[in-house]
Structure 1
Amino acid sequence: MKFRHNICIPVVFLALVCLAVGCTQAKLPADTKLFLVGMGPGDPDLITVRALDVIKGADVIVCFEKSRDKYASVIGSKTTITAPHGFWHNYGKKISDIKDCKAAEQEKAIAPKRDAFIKEVRSLVAEGKVVAVLDSGDPMVYGPWAWILEELEDLNPSVVPGLSCFNAANAAMKKSPTISASTKSVILSANDWKGKKDTIDKLAKVGASMALFTMRAEFDYFIEKLKAGYPLDTPVAIVMHAGYKDKEKVITGTLGDISGKIKDRPFEYMIYIGDFITYKQKGRQ
């Protein structure tokens, strides 16, 4: 199965990238041919210099189609492999052990494509090619490509850290979730997953600040779960399009009234809850 494509972009964008990272060939570790690269959230200018260096030194780029379009000015004319989103779903599970019928059928469909992808990456590395797998945000925080570090462990993969949307959302709020009157901790979580015991309602009872990666989950579902542990007057912030200068938006309220303040919700948003949202250090007792 072939996933490869070629992309051509205006020379002006490539020139800008060269100015950013230097026009000489990037020097990558000789013993590493496979990289998992964090590309940061939001606008492309949040990509790190190290990430740009790895991309420049790579022979082949692996990414989702959306990422290929978003980072076209960075990828340039390099050969790319575009992969479907579902490779990480049920990775490592036998189809016979998947209880959900729909999930089992999805795994039957995706498994051959995943196997073909793995085979192609191994073949490229065997040929001496440097392969860079691009992931938005921080690839080690709910990243859909983290599974390759286990599957291709023998290829000695290297991870290039990237800014998370958590970092970008903190900046958008101009608040630190680790600083408040009564807490110093922040819990990172996502939608409740089957088989996992750290459900949102249980985490809410800890009382720490919380940052939720929504990832298409129902907004009202999160809010109802949070009510199991937080008072209704607890401050809440919704950060939309974190890291995008032209689209970034922060809406604040309380657990009791935030639902009425949110109308259209994009895919990219985070939910924060905790006293840190309204906390002022100056004048504290």
Structure 2
Amino acid sequence: MSVWQAIILAIVEGLTEFLPVSSTGHMIIAATLMGINELAITKIFAISIQFGTILSVVVLYWRRFLTSFDLYKKILIAFIPAAVLGLLLEKAIDAMLSSILITAIMLILGGVVLLFIDKWFNHADKDRINYKNAFTIGLFQCIAMIPGVSRSAATIIGGLTQGVNRKAAAEFSFFLAVPTMLAAASFKFMKDMLQLEIMDVLTFDWPKIQNSFAIISTQDIKLLIIGNVVGFVVAMIAIQSFISFLTKYGFKVFGYYRIAVGLAILMLIAMGIDLKF
């Protein structure tokens, strides 16, 4: 993977991670078009640059994170369902992630839902989320374990079903992304790149941990740093733009876009193009 290819992937990740369009599908398409989808570093890179996008949320909303302990409790309540289900269904989730067909179908189905979501929940006007709302949003986040659903779309819709307005639902989706993405990215990074199991870390198996980090090349580190920096900057811009756009125009544009991307993936599959990480 070249530096420019790393930058392009990071831009795609930063733009799509917090939008209701499925970053997974976009990363697979981008990697395939650049001819790097089968490189071992590509999957690791796609996982690792999520740390930069996570940091963008913390930086943008640092005042909320510093001044509201109640927010942490709500985030924890919302995080628990996905954490538990993710551990229980790890193998099944990994199997689904390898299916680009599932991603395409869910992109289309999710797009159809977004075409009507504004009409269904046009009276959602609450600007605060209580503990029950948080837990319900957490349950909706579990649906996003199916590739192509979009974690952002699932959690925002979860908020809307609770009567929460678009802005508040989107912001809580961003907040919930911090522990969810951090946990998922850390777990996958340890497992896929460092070849470590959770127990190796929990039992402080330092020799194994040190040997695992020793296999990371200088070039890999360079690409990961560049990717995280680019992803961080792009994600900050995307988050701010998304909140403004969503408040004014709603979800319909994202619905049409998802359907178009899903159909494009199906066409590529029909043409025999191998879309995968």
Please tell me the TM-score bracket, short chain as reference.
Answer: under 0.3
Larger Rg: 1
Whichever structure has more helix as a proportion of its residues is 2
Output the TM-score relative to the length of structure 2.
Answer: 0.24
Q: Which has the higher contact order (CA 8 A, sep 6+)?
A: 2
Output the TM-score relative to the length of structure 1.
Answer: 0.23
